[in-house]
Amino acid sequence: MDIHSKIAGIGMYLPEKVYTSEEIEEMAGYARFGVKPGLVRMLTGCERRHYAAENEHCSDIAAKAGLKALENAGMQPSDIDAVLFCSITQDFAEPATVNVVMDKMDIRNAYSFDIKNACNAFMSGVDVADSLIASGKAENVLVVAGEALSRWTKFDYDNKEELLQRGTAALSVGDGGGAFVLTKAESGSTQGIVASRFATVPAMWNNNVIWGGGVIYPADQSKMYIPGTTKKLIDMHQDVTRNFIPAVMEKSGWVSSDIDCVLVSQVAKWITKNIRNIIGISYEKLPEIVQETGNVGSANIPIMACCAAEQGVLKRGGRMLMLGGAVGANMGVVSAVF
């Protein structure tokens, strides 16, 4: 018997505090270095982003998104068999942040662990959750991300060159959380995960490394900042679209016109535009959120799913593609009927 999972519920949370790109540029010293304001908005499309409150941590953000996903799925915390916390940022080095998330959500009888895979962590979590359900090890899995990337954002740049080289992409990040509840699909149901493809290019690991917090630089605060982005990683994101999506679509038995919604890790508006052109879909099927949320790391895709659902783009029974590319370098595509 074919056992597969479906997305039963989605949820998101964005902190209350909002900063415009001009305010962030001022904080980073654009005026001090004689840099014209508006660069972040022009190069990334990010106009606003949310920042967590001082006493608000990754586990808080994830728990709030997770509870909304449970509500959307019509489930209680006691229904969950496994919880996966999938984020770039985390509350502390050990134990796993997922333990705190479960405590705050009152989930008491579930298997859990953290998944680290940069911006692709949530996508990896969806894939692992699908595997747990397909193997019969779980029936209801909560996949949740809670990003507090503002805590790793550098504002005290040493010189203009460093600010221009690293600042534009790093200053466009924001905080927020997203969650999916995956559950065992009914026999004969057309809803659910259809196909997927993931890969890692380990030779590219030394791009955009956040060095702090590991055993190499365990206590060096200067190593705890988001480094920005590189052309190699941007090119890789385009390669994922060109090489991975056709294979997943073929396996799914779909053509471009079959797709109702595409969810991607939104780093910049121009990258999203390129992805639309490569796939051959309209703006309406791949809505943009980067202008309102910035780059929210691994939470991008679930937040985008919630926004697409609010806009009526993502509907029950609709065919969706999720596309992720991340430092490491990691990439993945998942097709699903929502």
Do residues 16 and 109 share a domain? yes
pLDDT in tens, 21-37: 999 999 999 999 999 99
3-state secondary structure string, the chain?
A: CCCCEEEEEEEEECCCEEEEHHHHHHHCCCCCCCCCCCHHHHHHCCCEEEECCCCCCHHHHHHHHHHHHHHHHCCCHHHCCEEEEECCCCCCCCCCHHHHHHHHHCCCCCEEEEECCHHHHHHHHHHHHHHHHHCCCCCEEEEEEEECHHHHCCCCCCCHHHHHHHHHHHCCECCEEEEEEEEECCCCCCCEEEEEEEEECHHHCCCCCCCECCCCECCCHHHCCCCCCCHHHHHHHHHHHHHHHHHHHHHHCCCHHHCCEEEECCCCHHHHHHHHHHHCCCHHHCCCCHHHHCECHHHHHHHHHHHHHHCCCCCCCCEEEEEEEECCCEEEEEEEEC
Say if strands 192-200 and 176-184 run parallel, antiparallel, or are unpaired.
unpaired
CATH of residue 257's domain is 3.40.47.10
Of 143, 163, 184, the last residue of a domain is: 184
| Residue 179 shares a structural domain with residue 199 | no
Same domain membership, residue 301 and residue 174: no
Residue 224: alpha-carbon gap to chain centroid: 20
pLDDT band at residue 101 using 50, 70 and 90 as cut-offs: very high
Helix (H/G/I), strand (E/B), else coil: 206: coil
Q: What is the pLDDT of residues 201-217, one digit of tens each?
A: 898 899 889 999 899 99
Final residue of a domain: which of 161, 184, 207? 184
- pLDDT for position 195: 95
Residue 75 has pLDDT above 80, yes or no: yes
Counting the structural domains of the chain, the total is: 2
Q: Is the pLDDT at 166 greater than 90, yes or no?
A: no
Classify residue 320 as exposed, middle or buried by CB count within 10 Å of its CB (0-12, 13-18, 19+). buried
- End-of-domain residue from the set 184, 203, 237: 184
Are 24 and 69 within one domain? yes
pLDDT of residue 243: 83
Residue 1, pLDDT above cutoff 60: no
Q: Are 197 and 180 within one domain?
A: no
Question: Do both 90 and 74 map to the same domain?
Answer: yes
What's the confidence (pLDDT) of residue 271?
86
**Do both 126 and 51 map to the same domain?**
yes
User: Strand pairing of 82-86 and 111-115?
Assistant: parallel
What pLDDT score was predicted for residue 313?
96
| Calpha distance 117→120 (Å, rounded) | 5
pLDDT at 230: 67
Q: What is the pLDDT of residue 74?
A: 98
**Judgement on whether residues 231 and 156 belong to the same structural domain of the protein:** no
Is the per-residue pLDDT at 235 higher than 80? no
* Residue span of the structural domain in which 161 resides: 5-184
Residues 249 and 211 in one domain: yes
What pLDDT, on the 0 to 100 scale, is given for residue 237? Answer: 67
Mean pLDDT of 165-191: 92
Residue 186's pLDDT is: 85
Beta bridge partners of 149: none
Same domain, 256 and 275: yes
Report which residue type is found at 45: G
What's the mean pLDDT in 88-92?
97
pLDDT at 168: 84
Pick the closest to residue 64 from 182, 180, 179 (CA basis). Answer: 179
- Per the prediction, the chain carries an average pLDDT of 93
- Same domain for 168 and 223? no
Would the pLDDT of 321 be above 90? yes
Residue 325's pLDDT is what?
87
pLDDT by residue (tens digit) across 125-145?
A: 999 999 999 999 999 999 999
**What pLDDT was estimated at residue 304?**
97
pLDDT of residue 274: 87
Instruction: Mark whether 179 and 196 lie in a shared domain.
Output: no
Angle formed by the axes of helices 121-134 and 300-310, nearest 10°: 80
Can you tell me whether residue 151 is helix, strand or coil? helix
Cα atoms in the Cβ-side hemisphere of radius 13 Å centred on 169: 19
